[in-house]
Structure 1
Amino acid sequence: MKALTWHGKSDIRCESVPDPEIQDGRDAIIKVTACAICGSDLHIFDGMIPDMHSGDIVGHETMGEVVEVGRDNKALKVGDRVVVPFTISCGECYFCKRGFYSGCERSNPDREKAAKLWGNSPAGLFGYSHLLGGYSGGQAEYLRVPYADVGPIKVPDGLSDEQVLFLSDIFPTGYMAADFCNIQPGDTIAIWGCGPVGQMAIRSAFLLGAERVIAIDTVPERLALAREGGAETLDFRADNIYDRIMEMTRGRGADACIDAVGTEADAMSGVDAMIDRVKVATFLGTDRPHVLRQAIHCCRNFGTVSIVGVYGGLLDKIPFGSAINRGLTFRMAQTPVQAYLPKLLERIEKGEIDPSFVITHRATLEEGPELYKTFRDKKDGCIKVVLKP
C-alpha cells in the first residue's frame, strides 16, 4: 500500500509499504477513505517529537471502511464506516473505565520510555513516535486499529466523510478545550491560535454558552475564519495582546484562556519567545511556551487556563507566582476522544455544527508531502488539509 512516512526533519515521503495485518483478536483493518494533516503532525515534521524512526507511517486523523475484523471483535463488521480516535484505548483499565481514555494503562507498549520522560505513560497514539507505542499512522491506504471494539465510532449513512472525519481529533480537542473552561452565561473566552483546533474551540465555546470569544492569531485567513464563527479577533503582530484583552474586559481579564498553540509559539510575538527559540535551537530547552505565559497573565483572578496545544518536555519561566496568587485553575489533557464521541456525533447529526467548515485543501496521498510544507508555512490560505487515498 501507499503511505506517508517520516525520514527526518522536513522529510515526509509517499512510499510503498507492507499492508497491515490483524495481530490481535480485537483488531480491525480499515480501508482509509479520508485522513488529515494535523497541526500536531507539524511538530513531527519540524523534528520536535523525540523517538521517531525513519520509515514510520504518520497521521492520526483517519476514517474509513472496515475490511477485516479480528475473531474477538464483536463490535464491528466488514463494511462498517468508522471514524478512528487518535487515542488508542483498551476500554478495560482503571483510566478507561473512568472515561480517561487517553490515560490508558495498556495501550502503550513503550510505556517505560514515556515514564522516564513524564513520570508515567499516557495512552498509545497513532503515528506519533515510539514514546507512544510506535503505532503506524493513518495517512495511508489501510490502517490496523488495535482495540477496535472500543475506539472507532460507526458513522450514519446520511453523513459525509468530511462532516465526521474530525471526530478523530480536532473537533473533540477543540470542544474539550472549551468544556474545560466551565463556561457560564456572560463569559468571555480568549483563545490563542486560530488553526484547526482553535477554530473548533471558538465554535465549541459558543455552543457551550460563551457570550464573547476573543481569538488571537496573525494569519489573515485564520482570523477571517474566526470572525465568521462569531469571534472578535486580535493580531498579535499588530496588537499588545495583554493591553487589548484588559481593555476589552474592563481591566478584569478573560474568564478563561485557551492555549491552542503549544510548543511552537511564533518567535516574533515577544522577546521571551525569541529567547525560547534560541534555547530550543541550541538544545537548552524543549518547548517555546510564550502563549502559555501570556494566557496566564490575561486570565482573570480565579479564572481557568485550558491547555490543548501540545507540549513535550520542560517549560521555562512560567509565571506560576501569578497563577497561585490569583487563584487560577489549570486544565489540560491529550483528549480522551472516546468520551466525547457520542455527544459530538449527535451535535453534527442535529446540524448544530459541520466541522468540515475548516477544510481548505483536498488532495491525494501523493500530494501529501508538499502539502505538509504548505500547511507548515501557512501558504496558499492553508488552514486544514484532507487527503483521500
Structure 2
Amino acid sequence: MTNDWYDIKFMESATNVRELLGNSMGRTPSANIAREIAVCIQQGRLFFEAASAAPIQIKPLQIYYGVVAFAQAVIVARNGHSLSTLARAHGLTDTTSLDAGVEGLVLRVENNGTYQEFNDTVAPLGRIWYFDSSMPKWYEKPFDSAAGLSGLQITITDILARAPGLAEKFAQTFGSSGKTIPIMLNFGTIYTGSCTLRIDDPVLFTDRASLVASIQRLRSEYPFLEQWRFTEAQHAWGNSIIVFDNTERRGLDDLSEDNLIEANNNGFASGRAMVGAERTIVPAIEILPPLSGGYTRSGQIYAMQPINNVNLSEYALQFLGAFLLSSLVRYRPQIWQNAISRSVTAQSPADDRSLSLIEEFLDDVLSGFPEMVVRVMDYQRTR
C-alpha cells in the first residue's frame, strides 16, 4: 500500500488550512482552530505511515489511532468547534466474549462519542456522481445519522460483509455472499432523466426461471431494486449482466412470462408490450440509496445493505472495523497472535480463515481514509 501524502502534508500547515477552509466552506477558522486541525492531520499521517511499515501484530492499533486523529480533524474542520468540545469517548464498546476468536469480535454502539460525531459530520456529504456535457457533477444523497445504531451490537463480519471491494474475498472466505454489490450507473442524456443501472452478478442464469430467481434474490437483498424496472440480461465476462432502468414499474410485472422474452445469444429483455407505451421516468436520485465512492469520486461504486435500517458510508464502516481490530490487539493479543501465526494445537484451533480478508480491509483503510479526509476538507474540489 502506498500513499501520496502531499495533499495531506499541505494541510499540516495552519496557514494553508485557514485558506483552504475559507475558500471551500466560506468560513475561515481561527488560527487556534486551524492549528488544531493541522496537528490532528499530521498525527493521523504519522500513525498511518508507521502502520504501513509495521508488522501485522500491531498494525491495527496504529491504524485506529490514525483513524481517530483524521476523524477529529474532519469534525473540527466541518463544525468549527475546538478539540476541547469533542466527546472524550470512542462511542463504541468492545463486547466480545473472552473466549471468542477473531470472527467472534463484536462491539456495541453507544449514545455519543468520536464515532457518532465523525459519522454525523460526513454523512450529509454523501453524493452520487454523473457527467453532464463531459463535466462531472453530483446529486446529494446523504447517509444516515448514527442515532439509529445506539445500543446495537455489530460484529466484525457485519462490517467486513459491507466493505466495498471485498465482496469477492468475503464470499471466498465465508462461502456466502457479502452485503455489498458493485453497480454501474449511466444517466444517459441528463435532460430526459433516464438512467440505467447495471449489476454484474456472479451467479449465471441458465434459463428464464433461473434469471427470475436471480433478480428476485437481488431485490430481496437490495430492496431499492424493487423500484427499478428490469430491461435486459446477458452473459459476459463470466457474469450475468443484469440491467434495470428508472421507468415506473407500477402495474407492470417485469418478470412475467409475457414481458420477459428471449433475446440475442441466450439473453433476455423486457417485452415488446413496453414498446411505444408511454413511459414515466422516476428520478433516479429518488430511488437510489446512498452509495459508496461519493466522497472521493472513485471509479467503482457500491450499494451497501443498511445495518438496523441505517445506511452507513464506507468510512463509517472503516471506523467500526478499525476500532474492533485495534481492541483485539490491545486486549486479546494472544488471540490475535494465534490467528496470525496460523498455528493449530489441541488447545488453540486454527483461527486464520479470515486473516487475508482482514489484511485487505486494513489496507483499504490505509489507502482510502486519507483520501476521504482530503476531499472532505477541500470541499470545493468535489463540487
TM-score above 0.5 = no
Higher relative contact order (CA 8 A, sep 6+): 2
Q: Which has the larger strand fraction?
A: 1
